[in-house]
A and B are shown apart, each in its own frame.
Chain A
Amino acid sequence: MRANAPPRGSSGFFAAFAVSCLGYALAPGAPVLARGMLTLLAVPLLAGLVVQITQRPNRSLAYRFFVAFLACGLPMAGYALFSMLALQSRFAVSMGGDARLAVAFLIAPAYGVLAGCLAGATASLSRKGAIR
């Protein structure tokens, strides 16, 4: 039963995940504007393209979207979270530190969702043979 199941095609996920991680690893050194463009535009687009290319054409759009969403959204959320935690720790006045931590934990998933949606939308662009 399990042997007859179609292969899951997870290599696309890992490739997109690796691209995202690489992109977010480069981001901290960039200027503010370039960083924003890189993290919220370039990396999600690139990750989405990677998923689109590596997935089989017979995959559903929803499946592609979900794979790209996870592959880009998770690193983005992690990057946002650790960036905000690092910034928070550098504040000389630690007043409101707990509230900032809460904000960081709430905002980071939002960034992840944003980047993930962009990557997912890119990945689910119609290709020949894709199941709608």
Chain B
Amino acid sequence: MSLFLEERDDGGFGLYLDGDLQFDTADEAIYHECLALPALCLARALRPESDRSLRALICGGGDGLALRECLRFPDVRHVDLVDYDPEVVALGRTRFAELNGNAFADPRAAVHIADAWDFLRPEAAYDVALCDFTTPRHPEEARVFTREWYTRIGDALAPEGVLAINGLSPQCAPEAFWCLVRTMQSAGLHVLPFRACIPSFRDAGYGVWSFFLAARFPLPHALLRDLRCPVPTRQADLRRLARAARFSRAERRLRCTVPVHTLEAPCLLPLLLNPGLTPSPKSREVFAPAAGGPDPDYDLRPLLGAIPVLHPYYSRAMLTYVAESVVGAVGTLDLYRLLDAILHRAAELPAALLTELRRLRGFLSEQLPGLENLGAWGNRLFCALVILMTIANTIAPDSAFGKGSFGLGHASVSRGYAGSFSGGRGFSAPSSRAGTGSFQGQPGFRGARSAPGASSSFRGTPGYTGMPQSFGADRVVTSGFRTSYGRGHAVDIYGNVYSQRSFTYNASFNASFDVHSVHSMPVGGGTHGTVPPSGATPSTPHQALFIAADDLLVLDNGDIVITLSPTGYLLVSGGRIALMSATAPAPLLPLYANPAVLARIREQLQYQQMVAQREMEIRRDWLNWVGWTAALFEVVQADRREMRSLTDLNRHLMTALERLSAPAEAPAPEMLPPGAVELFAECTLLPDGRITLRRADGRRIFTDGRHLWTEQLAARQKCPPELSTLLKGVLVKLEREFEADLARNANDARTAAGELRTLEYDLREYESIARSNPDDPNYSVDYGTDSVGVSDAIFRTQQEIQATIAQQDRLKAEEAQRATELERLRAARTAFLP
């Protein structure tokens, strides 16, 4: 028997035996309460009040959950549990101990590892007997559903004893359900079936479930209506039992058509496996056991050994069991008898239909003599198509089958480039979050900052998330360059179209940088950046042409914009960087052009250019083949247009790269105090709540949202509202980002905890196997998809446990750090209230 435990993230689990769901912790109480409590209540009601002590028997139910229900009942003084599978009982004692309330430790319970058939004694005189067997999938398992079994267990009951049986689905296998009813009745039992809806069973495709109450005496429905349960139920509603026991006349009529399941004439399995099969009395002999059976000498092991077991849920033992079941089922088929039955049915066809079929055969052989050849040609054509598709699929792997693609091919997730400024954050393992290419600028900042810079952008937050006109949020359609490039919309290299966005700033900015900026204003007084100086070059709007990354845009004039928040951005042009407000055309503050930042921008643009050039090369080759058919095919015309767009994009990227020149000198990196959080390039939140920005001349200015000052001059200037608003916007976005980080961290921690539980359980299993085989340390066990020696499996599992614990520690440390930084950000944001 194969046993599989499916654990969920919420701590719940489901038990599968031979692939059949036995219970799910989410609703197992419905099942076990319906199985045990009605019978116990009924038996209790039938006993005199002076002596209501009950003796119970549970056949099967090694998980201990039915035992738990019995022991919950105050009148039960002794329970015999008999199960032939020691593995399930061992699980009941260990893994399920918490679930079954440690029922096996109760002194009233006696556990017997034995075959229930042999265990039963007529003199036992149980007051209650519960049959908690698995649904039969094999002739051997159907033995405990035969008339002989019910006779046997009926004999083991006291005269007023009650039998409760786990039934079948009257919805999915009605014939088998009524076959069981009829079988029990033929054993001299009075039967009262009732339905129960168990969500996990329904989700597993088993439909509405059922249970049977049976006894030697009549069981009217009124008994269920008047049932009184002395213990509270958790999930089952016993007041509805009488209603659940009603079956329509049409349903009950089926009982008259099904045979009785006996050892000599087993019929339950065919009825169970063939829902809708309504056997006539004539066909009963079809259910009789076939002569012969599987060849006992046939060795399946070499064949099964050749089948790879790759799925983590399925072990080789399960495969072997299923294969043997199939071989057994096929072996029991009597093909001669089957053929006879089919011919018998064929003879029942109407004569007119047979005449028509004969005429059709004659017509085909006379009029279409080559029809037979058509079949042969069809085979050849099919073979040729298979070969062609195989070769084509080798050349162009189909991402629909999860094979992914190389490079940038297809629409699979492999298109994302892990080293870029976008993507990657939070979608992969926690360890891969950090350092995916941030614009953290100086190496000295690395120790002072963590989450924001460790993210994927120039500053902590991804580009336009949450912005009114967000490139990230307003992706319009994926239609390629052919429809959008150069037509007012921004596009990325994959042809994703984004909403239109333009940036208006002073054209003279590029020429001299000598503008009315904060750096000329702050301490010495003067105007702030919103008012253009007299004689300044008029502002010009520039369209965003190309999205190089989430927050890195290339404008139509070759300038580069790094988006910060809805109210501000960084403008990079001519090797210089300026902090810009979205509401003012003039730079708020020229920032220090960190060579590392410029190098990262250059690297990103070069990568995008490389991708564009690669696309151009492919299209050029393609057009060499098909270009001359442009007049015939629209797609070729579109490819030509796209080629022109790519050429134009390549030219713009070259212009942008030319304009992006490194500064002449690179001063030594600055060291910032521990606990500082980088907001964006050259802008840092200090531990005391101030924000510092590094000016173009390398010196720093400080602000608390209300005032500005420098290191050299203690005199404070009022902070321009544009700068204050911009910084507050960045703080708000970073705060959201940190909250998302914390949530992701908590999720990772939960996942790691679940993995740890699974690993510890696996380790206990391996150790148990090792103890059972002390002389063979290389006893083969399943380890994931491999088969390894048990000692090796223990070693590997221990290593994995250590790695998982280390991961948990790392997650805890990250969580603590992020929480601290989040608090700091919140405090700073409060201070920056306008």
Q: A residues near B, CB below 8 A?
A: 32, 36, 80, 82-96, 99-100, 103-104, 107
Asked if A95 and B479 sit within 8 Å, CB to CB, the answer is yes
Q: How far is the CA of A103 from the CA of B640 in the complex (A)?
A: 14
Which of chain B's residues 480-530 have a Cβ closer than 8 Å to chain A? 480-481, 493-495
Q: How far is the CA of A88 from the CA of B478 in the complex (A)?
A: 18
| Interface residue from A86, A92, A95 paired with B415 (Cβ < 8 Å) | A92
B633 CB–A CB distance under 8 Å: yes
Q: How far is the CA of A36 from the CA of B624 in the complex (A)?
A: 9
Q: How many A-B residue contacts, CB cutoff 8 Å?
A: 76
Asked if A84 and B626 sit within 8 Å, CB to CB, the answer is yes
Q: B residues near A, CB below 8 A?
A: 391-392, 395-397, 405, 407-411, 415, 478-481, 493-495, 611, 615, 618-619, 621-622, 624-626, 629, 633-636, 638-639, 642
- Within the complex, the shortest CB–CB distance from A100 to chain B, in Å, comes to 6
Interface of A, helix, strand, loop or mixed by DSSP: helix
Asked if A103 and B409 sit within 8 Å, CB to CB, the answer is no
Q: List 9 A-B contacts (CB under 8 A).
A: A32-B621, A80-B625, A87-B625, A91-B619, A92-B407, A92-B611, A103-B635, A107-B625, A107-B626
Asked if B635 and A100 sit within 8 Å, CB to CB, the answer is yes
Q: How far is the CA of A88 from the CA of B634 in the complex (A)?
A: 16
Q: How far is the CA of A37 from the CA of B638 in the complex (A)?
A: 27
Asked if B409 and A92 sit within 8 Å, CB to CB, the answer is yes
**A84, A103, A107: most-surrounded residue (chain B CB, <10 A):** A103
- Within the complex, the shortest CB–CB distance from A21 to chain B, in Å, comes to 15
Given A84-B625, A95-B478, A107-B626, does the pair A90, B636 have CB atoms closer than 8 Å? no
Q: How far is the CA of A91 from the CA of B621 in the complex (A)?
A: 11
Nearest B residue to A91, CB-CB: B618
List 9 extra interface pairs beyond A84-B626, A95-B495, CB under 8 A. A86-B395, A87-B618, A91-B409, A93-B481, A93-B494, A94-B409, A99-B635, A107-B626, A107-B629
Asked if A99 and B395 sit within 8 Å, CB to CB, the answer is no
Residues of A within 8 A of B478 (CB): 93, 95
Residues of B within 8 A of A99 (CB): 633-635
Q: How far is the CA of A30 from the CA of B634 in the complex (A)?
A: 29
| Interface residue from A83, A94, A100, A103 paired with B411 (Cβ < 8 Å) | A94
Q: How far is the CA of A95 from the CA of B641 in the complex (A)?
A: 14
Q: How far is the CA of A95 from the CA of B619 in the complex (A)?
A: 13
Enumerate the 9 nearest inter-chain pairs by beta-carbon distance, A residue then B residue, closest first: A89-B396, A99-B635, A92-B408, A93-B495, A87-B622, A95-B480, A96-B635, A93-B480, A90-B618
Q: How far is the CA of A81 from the CA of B166 in the complex (A)?
A: 62
Q: How far is the CA of A91 from the CA of B479 in the complex (A)?
A: 14
Asked if B391 and A82 sit within 8 Å, CB to CB, the answer is yes
Nearest A residue to B405, CB-CB: A89
- Within the complex, the shortest CB–CB distance from A23 to chain B, in Å, comes to 17
**A90, A96, A107: most-surrounded residue (chain B CB, <10 A):** A90
Interface of B, helix, strand, loop or mixed by DSSP: helix
Q: How far is the CA of A32 from the CA of B618 in the complex (A)?
A: 12
Residues of B within 8 A of A86 (CB): 395-396
**B395, B415, B493, B619: most-surrounded residue (chain A CB, <10 A):** B395
Q: How far is the CA of A11 from the CA of B787 in the complex (A)?
A: 54
Nearest A residue to B617, CB-CB: A90
Nearest B residue to A80, CB-CB: B625
- Within the complex, the shortest CB–CB distance from A15 to chain B, in Å, comes to 24
Given A96-B638, A99-B634, A103-B635, does the pair A90, B629 have CB atoms closer than 8 Å? no
- Within the complex, the shortest CB–CB distance from B712 to chain A, in Å, comes to 52
Residues of A within 8 A of B635 (CB): 96, 99-100, 103
Residues of A within 8 A of B634 (CB): 99
Q: How far is the CA of A91 from the CA of B410 in the complex (A)?
A: 7
Q: How far is the CA of A17 from the CA of B719 in the complex (A)?
A: 82
Nearest A residue to B398, CB-CB: A89
- Within the complex, the shortest CB–CB distance from B637 to chain A, in Å, comes to 11
Q: How far is the CA of A100 from the CA of B635 in the complex (A)?
A: 7
- Within the complex, the shortest CB–CB distance from A88 to chain B, in Å, comes to 7
Asked if A91 and B395 sit within 8 Å, CB to CB, the answer is no
Asked if A103 and B397 sit within 8 Å, CB to CB, the answer is no
Residues of A within 8 A of B481 (CB): 93
Residues of B within 8 A of A103 (CB): 626, 629, 633, 635-636
Asked if A85 and B395 sit within 8 Å, CB to CB, the answer is yes
Nearest B residue to A92, CB-CB: B408
Q: How far is the CA of A94 from the CA of B415 in the complex (A)?
A: 11
| Interface residue from B405, B495, B615, B625 paired with A83 (Cβ < 8 Å) | B625
| Interface residue from B395, B410, B615 paired with A94 (Cβ < 8 Å) | B410
Residues of B within 8 A of A84 (CB): 622, 625-626
| Interface residue from B409, B625, B639 paired with A89 (Cβ < 8 Å) | B409
Residues of B within 8 A of A107 (CB): 625-626, 629
- Within the complex, the shortest CB–CB distance from B747 to chain A, in Å, comes to 32
- Within the complex, the shortest CB–CB distance from A127 to chain B, in Å, comes to 34
Residues of B within 8 A of A36 (CB): 624
Q: How far is the CA of A88 from the CA of B494 in the complex (A)?
A: 15
Q: How far is the CA of A82 from the CA of B389 in the complex (A)?
A: 11
Nearest A residue to B625, CB-CB: A84
- Within the complex, the shortest CB–CB distance from B143 to chain A, in Å, comes to 58
Residues of B within 8 A of A88 (CB): 396, 622
- Within the complex, the shortest CB–CB distance from B561 to chain A, in Å, comes to 24
- Within the complex, the shortest CB–CB distance from B767 to chain A, in Å, comes to 50
Residues of A within 8 A of B638 (CB): 96
Residues of B within 8 A of A95 (CB): 478-480, 495
Asked if A89 and B410 sit within 8 Å, CB to CB, the answer is yes
Asked if A91 and B615 sit within 8 Å, CB to CB, the answer is yes
Q: How far is the CA of A88 from the CA of B409 in the complex (A)?
A: 9
Nearest B residue to A36, CB-CB: B624
Residues of A within 8 A of B480 (CB): 93, 95-96
Q: How far is the CA of A124 from the CA of B611 in the complex (A)?
A: 48
Asked if B629 and A82 sit within 8 Å, CB to CB, the answer is no
Residues of A within 8 A of B410 (CB): 89, 94
Q: How far is the CA of A93 from the CA of B409 in the complex (A)?
A: 7
Q: How far is the CA of A45 from the CA of B619 in the complex (A)?
A: 29
Residues of A within 8 A of B624 (CB): 32, 36
Residues of B within 8 A of A89 (CB): 395-397, 405, 409-410
- Within the complex, the shortest CB–CB distance from A79 to chain B, in Å, comes to 11
Asked if B626 and A92 sit within 8 Å, CB to CB, the answer is no
Q: How far is the CA of A94 from the CA of B495 in the complex (A)?
A: 10
Q: How far is the CA of A100 from the CA of B396 in the complex (A)?
A: 13
- Within the complex, the shortest CB–CB distance from B392 to chain A, in Å, comes to 6
